[in-house]
């Protein structure tokens, strides 16, 4: 069953009920209604922007997108890129693409112009739909990517000269569409991930994987039609969207919150009657800090219906969950582990009934199998440390146009995750370390090689290594160990000024001026650096606190 059938069923059963809500607390409401689709609600004196659509409107909008794309020659097997911030347009566009039989290709909104071009060309994208936040980046690469590709601008204001207007293209399209015949095995989407090289890999998924994500999430957290899911993370990421799909499966309302401030989260949970909230560790810690300081008071909000808080994308400190349950003793809690290669979260999860095992990533998720293997691929006995492997219907088909990487990751139907793990006597899996050097900071992947290559461009830097150091709030932060050229001088301020050309999230948080050790083959000895500076950083952080 392709995932588009679930949308059709929701329209049949719940057509006039609200499907999606968008809340932007930092934006003044502007009454601009297109196709009579949106109900704009502006509470008196609130100064925030809210709009919603029903399941019928969701489906009609997706149909208009499908008709528009079909009219421009998009057919089954083509690829359509989505470069948008979260909003009511995002998911109907995604499903409109799927209805045509084309592949949806979501792009990370943090990508630079060069990264956008790389991904568009790697995935062989035929159409790119982009929002106002990306005009400058797309304009920079438009001469290179516009030939043979349709660029569509989705936003208010003047449409760039190098693109066509989404609203004009879809306004006259029919709200009815005869879906292209699809099966579970048909291709559905390409998501992007990267290894330690930092170059994104295109992850190819079939409709079977998308449906499996719906089933897994709903099995883990028991969503019913009455549940309301609060979505804060970006929809380009499998984590956010696949958690929402548990509610999508049962026609439950989803709320898209544009903002992570604790009061915004509490306002949204209270006003929209949210029952399920997925957070990153930094957001949960910010909420706890505000509660500790008195900046937030639970009694000021209507939060009694909130039943589940779950976290993914990075290791979760045990102390965070303990503190959370002190404030919310009736909350269910879950930890989710997954990769884009396994269609996001859920291939391993803690389980709401296993809060006593916090620290573990958990047990195999619904419809998933796991094993831990040694370097030869042989399964280890319980307690042995090895590479975690997963298998299930949510696995990627391959890395698109990368047979070498596919062969390294997929072996006999198992995905080799690159994460080192061990299993305790009760069958719970604990991550020990990553084989790859990717730094996960606040749920975002940071690729050390990219930063190292950039810093090597400074004339006073002889060598550099970037590693992750532990951080209570973000999980990890990037630290650069810099070896200065002999006879040169270099200050921390000069390095930070140089790094201002990098996206903010890629800039090293800590700078260490020291020799960079390399082994006999010329590789940086990062385990040695992590051992040396990780322990020192923890001691210094504790002394400062």
- 198 pLDDT more than 70: no
Query: Domain ends where: 434, 460, 484?
Result: 434
193 with 326, same domain: the answer is no
Query: Domain ends where: 409, 434, 459?
Result: 434
401 with 517, same domain: the answer is no
Q: Is residue 269, in this structure, part of any structural domain at all?
A: no
Query: Domain ends where: 259, 290, 318?
Result: 259
348 with 465, same domain: the answer is no
Residue 194 pLDDT level (bands cut at 50, 70, 90): low
Q: Is residue 279, in this structure, part of any structural domain at all?
A: no
Residues 6+ apart with CB under 8 A from 453: none
Percent of the chain with pLDDT over 90: 70
Answer yes or no: are the C-beta atoms of 449 and 196 closer than 8 Å: yes
Determine the Cα–Cα distance for residues 482 and 500; give it in Å rounded to an integer.
17
Specify the CATH number for the domain of residue 465. 3.30.300.30
Percent of the chain with pLDDT over 70: 91
Answer yes or no: are the C-beta atoms of 323 and 287 closer than 8 Å: no
pLDDT value of position 245: 96
- 479 pLDDT more than 90: yes
225 with 249, same domain: the answer is yes
252 with 377, same domain: the answer is no
For residue 126, give the nearest of 178, 70, 84, 177 by alpha carbon. 70
Mean pLDDT over residues 448-474, rounded? 87
**Each residue's pLDDT tens digit, 36-50:** 333 444 444 445 689
317 with 408, same domain: the answer is yes
324 with 456, same domain: the answer is no
Mean pLDDT over residues 197-224, rounded? 92
41 with 124, same domain: the answer is yes
Residue 539 pLDDT level (bands cut at 50, 70, 90): very low
421 with 463, same domain: the answer is no
Residue 261 pLDDT level (bands cut at 50, 70, 90): very high
Specify the CATH number for the domain of residue 27. 3.40.50.12780
Written as one string, the DSSP assignment of 316-374 is --HHHHHHHHHH-TT-EEEEEEEEGGGTEEEEEE--TT-GGGBTB-BEE-TTEEEEEE-
Q: Is residue 267, in this structure, part of any structural domain at all?
A: no
3-state DSSP percent of the chain in helix, strand and coil, to 5:
35, 30, 40
Q: Is residue 514, in this structure, part of any structural domain at all?
A: yes
Q: Is residue 286, in this structure, part of any structural domain at all?
A: no
pLDDT value of position 433: 63
Q: Is residue 296, in this structure, part of any structural domain at all?
A: no
Q: Is residue 112, in this structure, part of any structural domain at all?
A: yes
Specify the CATH number for the domain of residue 353. 2.30.38.10
**What's the whole-model pTM score?**
0.83
Count of domains observed in the chain: 3
230 with 334, same domain: the answer is no
- 177 pLDDT more than 50: yes
38 with 141, same domain: the answer is yes
Indicate the range of 315-319, 403-407, 512-516, 519-523 predicted with least confidence.
519-523
Give the structural domain span for 249.
Answer: 4-259
243 with 373, same domain: the answer is no
Q: Is residue 272, in this structure, part of any structural domain at all?
A: no
Q: How many other β-carbons are positioned within 10 Å of the β-carbon of residue 316?
A: 25
Determine the Cα–Cα distance for residues 65 and 97; give it in Å rounded to an integer.
7
């Amino acid at each position: 069953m392709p995932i588009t059938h679930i949308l059709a069923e929701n329209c049949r059963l719940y057509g006039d009920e609200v499907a999606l809500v968008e809340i932007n607390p930092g934006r003044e409401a502007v009454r601009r209604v297109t196709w009579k689709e949106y109900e704009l609600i502006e509470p008196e004196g609130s100064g925030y922007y809210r709009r919603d659509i029903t399941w019928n409107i969701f489906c009609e909008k997706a149909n208009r997108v499908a008709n528009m794309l079909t009219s421009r020659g998009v057919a089954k097997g083509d690829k359509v890129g989505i470069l948008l911030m979260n909003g009511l347009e995002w998911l109907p566009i995604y499903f409109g693409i799927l209805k045509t039989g084309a592949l949806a290709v979501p792009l990370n909104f943090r990508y630079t112009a060069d990264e956008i071009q790389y991904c568009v060309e790697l995935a062989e994208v035929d159409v790119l739909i982009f929002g106002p936040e990306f005009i400058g980046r797309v304009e920079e690469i438009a001469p290179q990517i516009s030939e043979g590709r349709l660029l569509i601008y989705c936003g208010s204001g003047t449409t760039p000269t190098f693109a066509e207007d989404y609203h004009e293209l879809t306004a006259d399209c029919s709200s009815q569409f005869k879906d292209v015949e699809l099966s579970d095995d048909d291709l559905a989407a390409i998501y992007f991930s990267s290894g330690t090289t930092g170059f994104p890999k295109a992850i190819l998924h079939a409709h079977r994987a998308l449906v499996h994500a719906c089933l897994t999430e709903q099995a883990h957290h028991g969503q019913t039609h009455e549940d309301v899911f609060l979505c804060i993370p970006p929809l380009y990421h499998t984590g956010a969207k696949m958690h929402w799909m548990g509610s999508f499966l049962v026609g439950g309302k989803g709320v898209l919150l544009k903002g992570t401030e604790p009061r915004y989260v509490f306002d949204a949970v209270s006003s929209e009657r949210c029952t399920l909230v997925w957070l990153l560790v930094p957001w949960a810690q910010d909420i706890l800090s505000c509660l500790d300081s008195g900046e937030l008071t639970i009694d000021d909000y209507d939060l009694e219906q909130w039943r589940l808080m779950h976290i993914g994308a990075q290791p979760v400190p045990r102390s965070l969950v303990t503190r959370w349950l002190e404030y919310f003793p009736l909350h269910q809690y879950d930890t989710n582990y997954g990769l884009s290669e396994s269609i996001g979260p859920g291939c391993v999860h803690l389980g709401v009934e296993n809060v006593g095992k916090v620290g573990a990533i958990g047990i195999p998720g619904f419809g998933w199998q796991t094993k831990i293997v040694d370097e030869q691929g042989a399964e280890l006995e319980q307690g042995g440390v090895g590479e975690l492997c997963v298998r299930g219907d949510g696995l990627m088909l391959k890395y698109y146009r990368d047979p070498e990487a596919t062969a390294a990751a997929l072996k006999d139907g198992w995905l080799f995750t690159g994460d080192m793990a061990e299993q305790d006597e009760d069958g719970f899996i604990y991550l020990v370390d990553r084989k790859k050097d990717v730094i996960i900071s606040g749920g975002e992947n940071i690729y050390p090689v990219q930063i190292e290559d950039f810093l090597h461009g400074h004339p006073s830097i002889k060598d550099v290594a970037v590693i992750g150091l532990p951080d209570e709030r973000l999980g990890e932060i990037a630290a650069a160990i810099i070896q200065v050229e002999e006879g040169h001088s270099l200050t921390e301020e000069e390095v930070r000024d140089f790094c201002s050309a990098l996206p903010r999230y890629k800039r090293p948080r800590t700078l260490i001026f020291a020799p960079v050790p390399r082994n006999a083959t010329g590789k940086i000895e990062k385990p040695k650096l992590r051992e040396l500076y990780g322990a020192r950083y923890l001691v210094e952080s504790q002394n400062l606190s």
